[in-house]
Structure 1
Amino acid sequence: MPRKRREVRRRGRAVSLPPSYLPAGGPDPDGASAGKRTYGPDFLTALFQNPLDPGYQDAAARRATEGRRRGWRRSLAGGSSALTLVVIGFLLVVAYRQTVAEEPARTVARESLITQVQKRREETDRLREQADRLGDEVAALRDRALGGAALAELRDLEAVTGMSRVRGSGAKITLVDGPTSVDAVTGERRTEGQVKDTDLQLAANALWEAGAEAIMINGQRLTATSRIRQAGEAILVDIRPVASPYEVVAIGPEDLADDFRAGYAGQFFETLSGRYGISFKAAEANDVTLEAATEFQLRSAAPSIAPAPSGSASSSGPGSPVPGSSTEGGR
C-alpha cells in the first residue's frame, strides 16, 4: 500500500512531504513512538532541495509572468512611437517638397507685385510734379488777373485758412510720452502716460483762444476742417499719423507761450507731467515758418434754413457765416 503523506512542522508551519521522503520504520518526526521528536537525513535533504515555500514560488512565478507582459507592452509602445515618428517625418518631407515646388510661383508673384508698386510710385510722383506745375501756373494767372488790393486780401485769406505758407513768431508746445508700465496682476500695458488725441486737441484750442493765427502739429498745418483723432495707439492729424515727441507750433502774439503756460491747458499738462511722467514744455518760437496745408475741397455746403429775401434787414453780409449752416470737408 502506498505510504501516506505526513506533515512536519518547520519554523511554525506545516509542510506536507511525500511518502518517499519519510523513512520506513526509522525516525519518528512526531515522536509518537519514543516520545521524542527525531528527523532523518532524507527530510533535511528535502528542505535543502526545496528551501522556498510554495506561496513564495507562486508569487515569483506571477512576477515573472507580469514582467514578460510589461516587456511586451513596452515593445508595443516603442513600436507605436517609432511608427508615429516615421509618419511625422513622411509628412514633413511631403510638406517640404510642396513648399519647394511652389517657391518659384511665389517668387514670380512677389517680383510682379514689386514691379507694379514701383510703376505706380513713379506714376504718382509724375502726377504730383504735374499738379504742382499746374498749380504754380494757376497762381501766376490769378495774381496777374487780380492785382492790387484784391490780391492782398486773397493772400490774407489764404494765410488764415492755412492754404499758404506763413512766417512769424509765436510759441512752441512740446509733449512727450511718459514711461509705460505693465500691470503686475493682469500683465496689461498701461497707457496713462501716453499723449492722447484729446491732449493735442486741448493744446490747439488753447492756442487758438490765446490769439494764435496759424498752428502746425508735427509738420501738419491745421485748417478749419482739420481733425485730430485716435486710431488705435496712433494719432492722426487729418489723415497723416504723428508720433511722440509732439510739437505744436503756433504763430501769434509775443506772450503766446506765457499765456498758454498760465492758462488751463498749461496747468492740465503740468498735472499730467507730475502724475504720469508726460514731458511738457512751452517756449517762445522766433522766426518760424509754417507750410501750407494740403489743398482741401468742401464737398457739400447747404444752409439749414431757407435764405432770407433780398433787401431784408436780416440778410447776412458777404463773408458772414450763415446761422445753422453745416459743411463737410476733407472726407
Structure 2
Amino acid sequence: MSAPPPERPRPDRVYAPDFLTELFRNPLDPGYADAAAARRRRGSSEPPQGWQAWSGRSISLFVVLVLGFLFAIAYRQTMADEPGRAQARSGLVTQIKDRESQTDRLSTRADQLREEVNRQRDAALSGSAAARLRDLEAGTGFGRVRGDGVVVRLADAPGKADAVTGAGAGPPRVLYSDLQGVANALWSAGAEAVAINGQRLTSTSTIRSAGEAILVDFRPVTGPYEVSAIGPGSMRRAFDDSRSAALMRRVAQETGLSFGVRGADDLTLPAAPEPQLRYAKPSVSPSPSVSGGRSGSPGSPGSSGSPATASPSGGGR
C-alpha cells in the first residue's frame, strides 16, 4: 500500500481593492497630488508668472477702472442724445397744446351753431310747440339747463395712489364705480339733470374705466371729479341719507380719499352732444326667384339695429 502524495502548498490569494471603495477613498486623480507636492517643493523660489502675478487688489482695481470707463461712455452717450429727446418732447407738448386749443375752438363753434339752430327752430315753430320741445330737451339731457342743486366733489388721496389699505376699503383713489354710485344716488334723490366734470348724463350714458382712466360717454375725465346735479331743495338731504354717500364717507375715512357735498345756487349744466341715431332696416332678398334654402325671405328683419348701450349702474368697492 503506497503512501499518499504530499499536498502542494496553496498560493496566497491577493485581494484587489473594490473599485467603488477606492473611488470614495481617493476621489482625486493622483496627478493633482503630484502637482500640489511640486508647488510646495518649489516654494517661493520662482516668481509668479502671468495672471498669478496679479494680486486680488490689482484685479479689483482693474475691474473698477473698466466699469468706470463703461459708465463714462454711457453717460456721454446719454448726454449727447438728451437734446434730441428734449426737442422731441417739446414738439409733442406743442402738438398737444395745439390740438387742445383747436378742440376748444371747435367746441365753442359747435355751441354757437347749436344756439343758432335753436333760434331758427323756435322762430319756425309756434310758441307752445317750441316751449314743449325745450322742456323735452332739458329732460332728456340735450338742452342746457340752469337751477339750484348740489355738487359732489371726489378726489384721490394725496400721495397714496398705490398705497395698500384695509380689506374692503379699496384703493385710495376714485374709481369709476364711485362716480356711478354717486350719479345713481343723485338720480334717486330727485335730480332732474346730472353732469360729471361738465359732461351731461343722459339715459344712454356710460361710466366706465379704461386702464387708469375714467370715461364718461367714452370721453376721459380727470380728477378732482365734480358731480353736479340740479333738483329740488330736498335732494341734498336725500343724498346724504343714501347708501352711496355713507359708503363714500367710510371709504374717505379709511383711505384718505376726498369726498364732500355742498349746495350750489344757479348751476348751469351744458347740453349733451347730439346722439347718432341708427335705424333697423328690413333685409332684401338677393333674388325673388330664390325660395327655400338658407336665403332670407323679403321683409324679414335685418341684423342692423340700434346699439345696446348700458346706462350707469351702481358699483361697490
TM-score, with length taken from structure 2: 0.58
Whether the 8 Å contact between 2:197 and 2:221 is mirrored in structure 1 is no
CA RMSD of aligned residues (A): 4.6
Matched, 1:286 2:257: no
Do the aligned partners of 1:173 and 1:280 also contact (CA within 8 Å) in 2? yes
Change (3 A) 1:134 1:98: same
Gaps of 5+ in 1: 1-57, 185-189, 304-324
The residue number in structure 1 matching 2:292 is none
Which residue is equivalent to 1:74?
A: 54
Q: Which has the larger radius of gyration?
A: 1
* CA drift at 1:197: 1.0
Match of 2:274 among 285, 293, 296: 296
The structural deviation recorded for 1:297 is 1.9
State the one-letter code of the partner of 1:298.
Answer: Q
**Superposed CA offset, 1:168-225 (max 9, x none):** 11222233334637459xxxxx953322111111111111112110012222221222
Question: In the alignment, is the contact (CA less than 8 A) between 2:147 and 2:265 conserved in 1?
Answer: yes
Aligned to 1:300, the other structure's residue is in SS state coil
Aligned-pair CA distance for 1:127 = 5.0
Amino acid at match of 1:136: E
Is residue 2:153 matched to residue 1:174?
Answer: yes
Q: Is it true that 1:269 corresponds to 2:275 in the alignment?
A: no
Residues 66 and 270 of structure 1, relative CA distance in 2, 3 Å threshold: farther
> How far does residue 229 in structure 1 lie from its aligned partner after superposition?
1.3
CA distance in 2, matches of 1:85, 1:275: 53
Matched, 1:240 2:223: no
Alpha-carbon contact 2:163-2:172 (below 8 Å) kept: no
Aligned mates of 2:269, 2:71 — CA distance in 1: 63
Give yes or no for the alignment of 1:196 onto 2:139. Answer: no
Which one of 125, 129, 133 corresponds to residue 150 of structure 1?
129
Q: Equivalent of 2:116, from 126, 130, 137?
A: 137
- Alpha-carbon separation, structure 2, partners of 1:149 and 1:241: 38
After superposition, the Cα gap between the structure-2 partners of 1:297 and 1:111, relative to the gap in structure 1 and judged at 3 Å, is same
Contact 1:178–1:193, Cα closer than 8 Å, also in 2: yes
Supply the distance in 2 between the matched residues of 1:174 and 1:121 (Cα, whole angstroms).
25
Quote the Cα distance in structure 2 between the aligned partners of 1:279 and 1:104.
40
Deviations 1:113-154 (A, max 9, x none): 788778767765665555444333322211111130111011
TM-aligned CA distance change 1:241 to 1:65, over 3 Å: farther
Aligned-residue identity in percent: 40
Instruction: State the Cα distance separating 1:296 from its structure 2 match.
Output: 3.0
Q: Contact 2:154/2:257 (CA < 8 Å) preserved in 1?
A: yes
| Within-5 A mapping of 1:1-331 | 62-65=42-45, 67-69=47-49, 72-74=52-54, 128=107, 130-178=109-157, 180=160, 182=163, 192-238=171-217, 239-244=219-224, 246-293=225-272, 295-302=273-280, 327-328=307-308
Cα distance change on mapping 1:133 and 1:110 into 2, 3 Å: same
**What is the alpha-carbon distance in structure 2 between the residues aligned to residue 283 and residue 297 of structure 1?**
31
Counterpart Cα distance in 2 of 1:107 and 1:237: 34
Question: Does the CA-based 8 Å contact 1:298-1:327 persist in structure 2?
Answer: no
| Contact 2:186/2:235 (<8 A) preserved | yes
How many residue pairs get matched? 244
Query: Which structure has greater strand proportion?
Result: 1
Query: Displacement, 1:275?
Result: 3.5
In structure 2, the CA distance between the partners of 1:275 and 1:168, relative to structure 1 (3 Å rule), is same
Structure 2 gap segments, 5+ residues each: 1-37, 282-304, 311-317
Structure 2 partner of 1:48: none
**TM-score, reference length from structure 1:** 0.56
Give deviations 1:220-241, integer Å, cap 9, x for gaps.
2212222111222332222122
User: CA distance change for structure 1 residues 211 and 103 in 2, over 3 Å: closer, same or farther?
Assistant: closer
Q: Deviations over 1:55-78 (max 9, x none)?
A: xxx999723246523775429x97
After superposing the two structures, state which structure 1 stretch, 195-204 or 172-181, moved more: 172-181
Judged with a 3 Å threshold, the aligned counterparts in structure 2 of structure 1 residues 121 and 282 are, in CA distance, closer, same or farther, namely: closer
